[in-house]
Amino acid sequence: MPNKNVTHLECSVCTRIFEAGKVWNLCECGGPLLVRYDLAQLKDAWSRESLATAPNTMWRYAPALPVQNENNIISLGEGMTPILPARRTGKRIGANRLLIKDEGLNPTGSFKARGLSCAVSMCVELGLGRLAIPSAGNAASALAAYAAAAGIEAFIFMPQDVPQSNFIECKAYGARVTLVNGLISDCGRIVGERKQAEGWFEISTLKEPYRIEGKKTMGYEVAEQLHWELPDAIFYPTGGGVGMIGMWKAFHEMEALGWIGPKRPKMIAVQAEGCQPIVRALREGAEVSRFWDGASTVASGLRVPKPLGDRLSLQAVRESHGTAIAISDEALVDAGIRLAEEEGLFAAPEGAACVAAAEQLIAEGFLKADDNLVIYNTGSGLKYLEAYSTRFPRNASGETDKLGGLITPR
């Protein structure tokens, strides 16, 4: 059953308190809001053992999610994605205990389903019927799907060069789609300028409190799937960074519940060389990032030039003694192809970047061969065919007698 233990919302920057059960976006200081629970009361009422009979979705953790009325839950079966051993890839890169959490098996093919399931459920509970989002692709697909399931309107703003799969998905789900000649930051500006006149509730990354709650379930799941022993390091593709922020929040909640101990994994933020504001901020010792000019990468989910959650992402990296690393487009596409060949897992370029990052950090000695490593593949490679297609050109005509080529029957 959904919990009754939400006590309040709290600004992640100035710690101002906000009343639960009301519509909020950001704090007046500009800080994202976080949902807080009465974890002491929840500890007495909810046990790890109760999960044995819980739904096989992320809503198995409903007591630590903000929806108060279970009738408001909008679910398409998201969560409880597999965590798979990657033995051949691990052997090649020098990692003896390499696991991949495959978020590409979520509804709409990415981890964004978690956040939008929770956020749309809360919009239903709060009576919000017109939602708007700027997105690099996968969040738009997820919002369109969950808004369709909830019977409410979705207004989507995406860069013009967004992957074709995301555009077609959103249109198929009946969303109102606007393509913008610019980056996700430009899309966000348009939503911000028009939302009041249009009556939209802005559901941008961290500009509302509930997407992070859905994404934090990745932290609950990895603990449960590893028998409540967290790994030594987690590699996470970091565009907006909400998944990493959510997991870090989940680890603190689980410790307060008595489900895990104080051990934390090194949190590794993985970015693209063409857009690495978190990497630069960590290197400079800054608390927040600076806008990354000329952001460009085939991994569209990593093309976020100034993430709103940069302070929280950097905090998780530093507190965990982790690091941030940038990977070239060539290296991440190569890593994705190798992973598919070795493990039968066709990862999004963002997830593939984490494989290249793991190889580099092991080679540098930052991580040891026997460390237990978990890579989050945040989406299906099938959503990024444009990114991979340059490595697999298909001839329109011609004939060859070599296996694997094109043959024109006589």
| The token pair that represents 408 in the structure block | 């024109």
Q: What domains can you pick out in the chain, each with its CATH number? A: 83-107+212-389 (3.40.50.1100)
Backbone angles phi, psi at 347, to 5 degrees: -90, 155
Pairing outcome for strands 83-85 and 97-102: antiparallel
Q: What is the pLDDT of residue 94?
A: 97
pLDDT grade, residue 390 (50/70/90)?
confident
Closest CA to 296 of 328, 325, 324: 328
pLDDT at 191 over 50: yes
Q: Is 374 helix (H, G, I), strand (E, B) or coil?
A: strand
DSSP letter assigned to residue 153: E
How far apart, in Å, are the Cα atoms of 63 and each of 37, 59, 121, 250?
10, 9, 15, 13
The chain-wide mean pLDDT, for the chain, equals 94
Higher pLDDT, 345 or 135: 345
Q: What is the pLDDT of residue 328?
A: 97
Rounded mean pLDDT, 400-404? 55
> How does pLDDT run across 277-328, given as a tens digit for each residue?
999 999 999 999 999 999 999 998 999 999 999 999 999 999 999 999 999 9
Burial letters 184-196, b for 16+ CB under 10 A, else e: bbebbeebbebbe
